[in-house]
Structure 1
Amino acid sequence: MKYEVELKHIEKSFNGFKAANDASFGVAKGELAGLLGPSGSGKTTLLRMLAGLEKPDKGDILIAGRRVNDLPARERGIGFVFQNYALFRHMTVRDNIAFGLRVQKEDSHKIKVRTDELLELTGLSQVAKRYPLQLSGGQRQRVAFARALAPSPSLLLLDEPFAAIDAKVRKELRSWLREAIHNLGITSLFVTHDQDEAVEVADKIIIVNNGRIEQAGSPLEIYQAPQTPFVADFIGESVKVEDYTQFKGFTAEEKGGSHQGIIRPEFIELAKDEKEISLPLGAERGTVKATYFRGSSVAVDIEVRGQILRAHRSLEKAPLQAGDKALAFIHRIYSLEAGRTRIIENRAKQKESVVI
């Protein structure tokens, strides 16, 4: 595949700490990609090297097929939205948006036309004369977005773009940003540690861990087919078990060694009694430890064989409470044996009955 942006075997260390460790990935033209990983994983360092704010120790950074390692940030054709927005407090919304164009010494007519266009795009026309301190968090984020777009960059980079916004506004802005970027057709890359944000906004997710790229793919691919133990454990409401062979219907893939596994809520069928469950002979008996209302469903923590598992239960079914006895049928498990990630189906689903 031909990429608009590509990082090849990037290495970067700070005082002996490897922030980037042989990191390689690509982003196609017009694609909206999210760098997702825990704090300290190296995702912001990768973004800053792409922007020209840091220089890699080794490796190549290519934009539109051109190696830009030694190219100054201002010559890379990049728009950058900082986490704290970095707006000029003494400038109005209009002047903040026009700033980059004035630095480029564009003529006043072009500046006005482009600024008006971006004010309209971001829904800020009515507040064009206000100053940043007079704006809401969501409005400031839109000003930063418009300012980054003003010079018509070929690549847009965003560092934790929703971090400083409250939850309700954040959800609204996710949809708005995704739609705006797709309408513009601009290649974009954003950093986040929020899984929901990455899944909802990105066309492609790039998982970063300890400076390495663990996996890259669509949100669906990342979720349904994790390629490494880290991704399987990191994505979703995963519960890690040290020995999955303790549960009914599961045997080890390999003799000896570790039998670690990952169990997700959607892998578990939860029931009050045998009449409610599809395969009662393969079900585990457990005790409900806690429940959490999630709006469209209830999250249930159930203790099975000394292990706390997380399951989801429909609001249409009879409620469960802490202390209740319940049945849990584990449909499948991600095996993490030998450093590989593989789905194992419960043997009870392959037979009419299971002998325990």
Structure 2
Amino acid sequence: MNMGYEVELKHIEKYYGSFKAADDASFGVEKGQLAGLLGPSGSGKTTLLRMIAGLEKPDKGEILIAGQRVNDIPARHRGIGFVFQNYALFRHMTVRDNLAFGLRVQNVDSHTIKVRTDELLELTGLSAVAKRYPQQLSGGQRQRVAFARALAPNPKVLLLDEPFAAIDAKVRKELRSWLRNAIHKLGITSLFVTHDQDEAVEVADKIIIVNRGQIEQAGSPLEIYQTPQTPFVADFIGESVKVPDYTLFKGFADNTKGAHMGLIRPEFIELAKDAKEISLPVGAEEGVVKATYFRGSNMAVDIEVRGQILRAARSLEKEPLQVGDKALAFIHRIYSLEAGQTRIIENRAKQRESVVI
């Protein structure tokens, strides 16, 4: 076992009847790390989180917290703080009383409770609303109350189930940054569940990709994005177009028989109005613009090349492309998806260019 792991799952399996919600799932989260369990709906993310919390019991495998096996330890004795998706605040209690509830259950003395709740109210910026009730708060404030209440008993680990799901888009973005900063300031090991890859990339130190109860890949956001290890991860992360046979494109011909499935991301494609605007015109494909979309920092452009609609990004500083325009597309690289593995293939025109230089 890696002694740096504060939370570790080893070969976890969980069944609900004939449905396998966790399938030989193994991963670790280091002390003080903020990890995101990311995957599509129904992939098993929340089941894994609830098993760590002790709210569900695995049928097979081990769960360790701070090196201790906790499979048979009740949830209340695991040192876990849990923030539920719907906050689960006590409506009849003020903000301060919500924060103090867990401490009172533990028979903590009133002076210590006041000191601790004062600390948490300041940390979460809720001091001014300490006497209000949950229904008098905004969604963002309720989320902070739930966060502070989970922290009150000084848990070893903090678990959050889709913590931003019930908050509107603008407030959600602000809370992402706030939550990340607060958790790093406290140094508490944390895991959160999300199906939003932008959220995972922005908030997490480590992303754990879950699919059909299995762990597809775990690593930093940069590692996950740049070096996906499986076809699922390559397709799930980022924006990409799946092509049935990438050998049809210039620079990617292959003598082996059969189709070669691939993925092409927008940043893999260089678009140009003519040969003078493109870096390697010899490797460029001719295409026709089918659609354009304003994305704020750039224009997304759908271009048809060899019967395949590809998506590329074009800088706003360049002359805009219109639907129906002929354009050139140079595909720098492609993800090959064969035999259950993912690898990057560079356009051969770039290899020849580097030899000439």
Normalized against structure 1, the TM-score is what? 0.97
Corresponding residue SS for 1:341: strand
**In structure 2, what is the equivalent of residue 220 of structure 1?**
222
- Supply the distance in 2 between the matched residues of 1:288 and 1:28 (Cα, whole angstroms): 47
**In structure 2, what is the equivalent of residue 159 of structure 1?**
161
Corresponding residue SS for 1:161: coil
Give RMSD over aligned pairs: 1.1
Write out aligned runs for 1:37-48 (5 A).
Answer: 37-48=39-50
**In structure 1, what is the equivalent of residue 348 of structure 2?**
347
Q: Is the 1:8–1:23 contact (alpha carbons within 8 Å) kept by the matching residues of 2?
A: yes
**In structure 1, what is the equivalent of residue 337 of structure 2?**
336
Equivalent in 111, 116, 120 of residue 122 of structure 2: 120
Deviation at 1:255, TM superposition (A): 2.5
Corresponding residue SS for 1:199: helix
- Supply the distance in 2 between the matched residues of 1:61 and 1:70 (Cα, whole angstroms): 10
| Structure 1 unpaired stretches of 5+ | none
Matched, 1:191 2:193: yes
Q: Is the 1:42–1:208 contact (alpha carbons within 8 Å) kept by the matching residues of 2?
A: yes
Deviation at 1:172, TM superposition (A): 0.6
**In structure 2, what is the equivalent of residue 264 of structure 1?**
265
**In structure 1, what is the equivalent of residue 72 of structure 2?**
70
Q: Could you give the per-residue CA deviations for residues 284-313 of structure 1, whole angstroms, max 9, x where no partner exists?
A: 111111111111111111111111111111
**In structure 2, what is the equivalent of residue 20 of structure 1?**
22
Size of the aligned set, in residue pairs, is 352
Amino acid at match of 1:265: P
Q: Is the 1:4–1:27 contact (alpha carbons within 8 Å) kept by the matching residues of 2?
A: yes
Write out aligned runs for 1:1-356 (5 A).
Answer: 1-2=2-3, 3-252=5-254, 255-352=256-353
Q: Is the 1:289–1:323 contact (alpha carbons within 8 Å) kept by the matching residues of 2?
A: yes
- Supply the distance in 2 between the matched residues of 1:237 and 1:278 (Cα, whole angstroms): 23
- Supply the distance in 2 between the matched residues of 1:277 and 1:155 (Cα, whole angstroms): 51
Amino acid at match of 1:340: Q
Shift >6 Å, 4+ stretches? none
- Supply the distance in 1 between the matched residues of 2:353 and 2:84 (Cα, whole angstroms): 58
Deviation at 1:258, TM superposition (A): 4.3
Q: Is the 1:258–1:338 contact (alpha carbons within 8 Å) kept by the matching residues of 2?
A: no
Corresponding residue SS for 1:153: coil
Deviation at 1:257, TM superposition (A): 4.5
| Structure 2 unpaired stretches of 5+ | none
Deviation at 1:326, TM superposition (A): 1.1
Q: Could you give the per-residue CA deviations for residues 239-297 of structure 1, whole angstroms, max 9, x where no partner exists?
A: 11110001110033x82344100100110001111111111121111111111111111
Q: Could you give the per-residue CA deviations for residues 205-240 of structure 1, whole angstroms, max 9, x where no partner exists?
A: 000000000000000000010111110111100111
The alignment-based identity, stated in percent, is 86
- Supply the distance in 2 between the matched residues of 1:33 and 1:102 (Cα, whole angstroms): 30
Q: Is the 1:34–1:191 contact (alpha carbons within 8 Å) kept by the matching residues of 2?
A: yes
